[in-house]
Structure 1
């Protein structure tokens, strides 16, 4: 699966359909010419003859070709293609931005401007890659968001249309009917789920098996900054800075999905909130790809086989993580979280949490750039680095958003005084999502490698070459090789540990 080029091997795709192989879900979509329905390759409802099979690289392309979504396997709700998280070319960056709702807010032309391309160039690239242009891709996403809100809330249909990004009720009704072969009212009547209460929107975030949540939620909980994040009742909860205002997400691991309970100030932010939660939990990953790459290592291979499906824990807000990575240099995880909480209390926007516990957004870069150095409880050199990085982020000299070019971002970060290789690699791994990021000098990596007899320094760097391009996933197994609270999902309220790392991530 790791070497599959989308639509590049018809025989392999047909074998996946014959075997109902769920690993291909989200990579490609099967359309059946005799029924005019498109499905996941694993759909149990169909087994069409080969002459009736057509494969598309996106749900949008299948919809553009006149196919409607299967009502049983719900192909548009499958995990997204891992390619968009694991690549940094213009198509991958465009897909991440579309997932954040940029086309709905700024139009296809605005998306092209963000990427530095003409709309015609971007259209041509996306059609060649995924079979559909920005408008069609955004339309498919709007339809999927609309169905989620129809089935999981009791919002009036007008508000659903508005929240999903439709310009009119007429367009909303038409697209839902075309994609799902029923009206919005009929779609709601068929649902068996109960809407969440208290103004929250509950969404099930699908992932590909296997899925190991221990280090993922353990890391987020152990490094949680009080007031901004917390672990409570089996859920990781945090505030979100969204285009239309603050939001709150509560994420709970479940069987086959992660439950996301969302509160947003502007219903149009549901799309962006879902995208950020998925990226934070690395839910679009194909766990088979790194597993295959690491399986050949005599030391890591058995660890991967024993605990498959580890994901890379990220942050929902890339600029926030970049600042917190600097804060976390040479201090404990607990100390870094405490400092982050103090900055949020002093400079962060207040948030109302009906469930209690969360009070602030982490400060945006502009606010931190103007912070009084006396408010930064850290050594002078690190104060200067935090302020310099915040200014660079605020002024656009460092770009870390979903549309960022990873190579350019690394260069921009390295130009900030006080940002060294460890900080750059941690930001690349946990903010940009680079699957090959490798913080060689991280104390947790060094301890894990030493306990496994993998060496250190140049020897470990040389050993890691065989793990490429999945070294960020190898890091998860190195971290898990030694005892640390980040390696396990908390049983109760989160408690930050006092174990000091030479260079600990925030």
Structure 2
């Protein structure tokens, strides 16, 4: 992937945090790589290279800066915005698919050969799937070393390394220190893992918490003031997380049934809160419309909340068809109680008796058809091709365009979804002086591309 040297150098020279995660600064004289906002003195031009990923820097023998922690930078928003195979691969690697299924499993999920997938990733990121997964393992290991009292051998296997030797060699290579030295300065948390999830400012925390809090379901999630707590089904067990936005990052307190789930837990929390978004780029497009300009000025950094579980969002969408949010919460609460107090997976949903579904027979049939499709491989967690997933959803009985679009907006993370027939969207539009007729509103919304999903969230807030 070609990076413009002058643009990157200016961003790094001014320590512009907006570019953290977009590229990495590799210093040839020290063999250290940093994020653009690193407070260290800017090296001479002849001693600098700019690389598209931390994995590319590591692959070329650069060590991570222990001052700016480039491996902990917000992810590039490009991977959430894009729907091509490279972006889908990056999302799946972040969710730990390579650690669980290897590169063959990743390639199978994407429908490509391993060789072609390696070529695609290397061309854009300077590193293939193994190197990208290795970089993530190292970051996961560092977090566990510094925030838990786990034995280092346990950290090695929990992070996805195949052996303690591989773990030791990788940590020394990337951080320039032995694992025991990284732990020397750590303050073990004990019990829950306490992490900081960085984001690009601004972040409208109240908008996020209001959206999630208005849709909480007892037993699944809850809002308490400035914190949001929820359970998550992860590959190796159930987890719970408490999220609290503060300036610069979100405090996350994770309780995991299995520490191997740390990487997917972090990835899903970031997706849920849309922490890798570029709010300035989004707000610039929306504010160019005079009818939204004042709203954007007063409320910068509104995010598009995502999901920790695509099936859960899909079920919420089906249950919420043509009913109020409050009514949907009541129905979902009964469903969760029938499932034993946790949101069921596809098999669990199919196993529930008819009386667990407080809804018309046809809608119950839709939920079962949806669960069966997910059980058969329909990917609602960001790894599937968005167009193919949409087509598969529309083929299900009882699933129309509104339901499909809502799932695309939240579960698939599509940044450019618009819901012109949605009552809340139309009411919000009217409140802002926009046309509320679906056709006229959809035509007006064309000027908000490619960020119409963010406009939808803003319109819902005004409904």
> What is the TM-score of this pair, normalised by structure 1?
0.89
CA shift, 1:65, in A, is 0.7
Contact 1:213 1:253 in 2 (8 A): yes
1:460 alignment partner in structure 2: 441
2:413 alignment partner in structure 1: 433
Contact 2:380 2:412 in 1 (8 A): yes
2:457 alignment partner in structure 1: 476
CA shift, 1:190, in A, is 2.3
Closer, same or farther: CA 158–232 of 1 in aligned 2, 3 Å? farther
Contact 1:195 1:201 in 2 (8 A): no
Contact 2:103 2:130 in 1 (8 A): yes
- Alignment coverage as a number of residue pairs: 462
Unaligned runs of 5+ in 1: 1-5, 349-359, 483-506
1:245-284 to 2 correspondences below 5 Å: 245-284=237-276
CA shift, 1:117, in A, is 1.0
Contact 1:317 1:431 in 2 (8 A): yes
Contact 1:7 1:55 in 2 (8 A): no
CA shift, 1:233, in A, is 6.1
1:352 alignment partner in structure 2: none
1:159 alignment partner in structure 2: 154
CA shift, 1:244, in A, is 0.7
Q: Which of the residues 163, 167, 172 maps onto 1:172?
A: 167
2:189 alignment partner in structure 1: 196
- State the SS of the aligned residue for 1:312: coil
Q: Which of the residues 390, 393, 397 maps onto 2:374?
A: 393
1:450 alignment partner in structure 2: 430
CA RMSD of aligned residues (A): 1.4
How far apart, CA to CA, are the structure 2 residues paired with 1:436 and 1:188? 43
- State the SS of the aligned residue for 1:258: strand
Contact 2:3 2:52 in 1 (8 A): no
How far apart, CA to CA, are the structure 1 residues paired with 2:151 and 2:352? 43
Q: Which has the higher helix share?
A: 2
1:139 alignment partner in structure 2: 134
Contact 2:336 2:344 in 1 (8 A): yes
Contact 2:382 2:411 in 1 (8 A): no
How far apart, CA to CA, are the structure 2 residues paired with 1:271 and 1:381? 38
1:380 alignment partner in structure 2: 361
How far apart, CA to CA, are the structure 2 residues paired with 1:301 and 1:48? 40
1:39 alignment partner in structure 2: 34
Q: Which of the residues 45, 70, 90 maps onto 2:65?
A: 70
CA shift, 1:451, in A, is 1.0
How far apart, CA to CA, are the structure 1 residues paired with 2:62 and 2:379? 38
How far apart, CA to CA, are the structure 1 residues paired with 2:314 and 2:56? 36
1:211 alignment partner in structure 2: 203
Is 1:150 the equivalent of 2:145? yes
CA shift, 1:399, in A, is 2.4
Contact 1:162 1:267 in 2 (8 A): no
- State the SS of the aligned residue for 1:166: coil
1:404-443 to 2 correspondences below 5 Å: 404-443=384-423
Contact 1:30 1:38 in 2 (8 A): yes
- State the SS of the aligned residue for 1:54: strand
Higher relative contact order (CA 8 A, sep 6+): 1
How far apart, CA to CA, are the structure 2 residues paired with 1:87 and 1:155? 37
Unaligned runs of 5+ in 2: none
Q: Deviations over 1:37-58 (max 9, x none)?
A: 1111111103111111101110
List structure 1 segments (4+ residues) > 3 angstroms apart after TM superposition: none
2:291 alignment partner in structure 1: 299
Contact 2:209 2:226 in 1 (8 A): no
1:235 alignment partner in structure 2: 227
1:108 alignment partner in structure 2: 103
How far apart, CA to CA, are the structure 1 residues paired with 2:2 and 2:302? 27
Contact 2:311 2:374 in 1 (8 A): yes
Is 1:310 the equivalent of 2:302? yes
How far apart, CA to CA, are the structure 2 residues paired with 1:395 and 1:34? 52
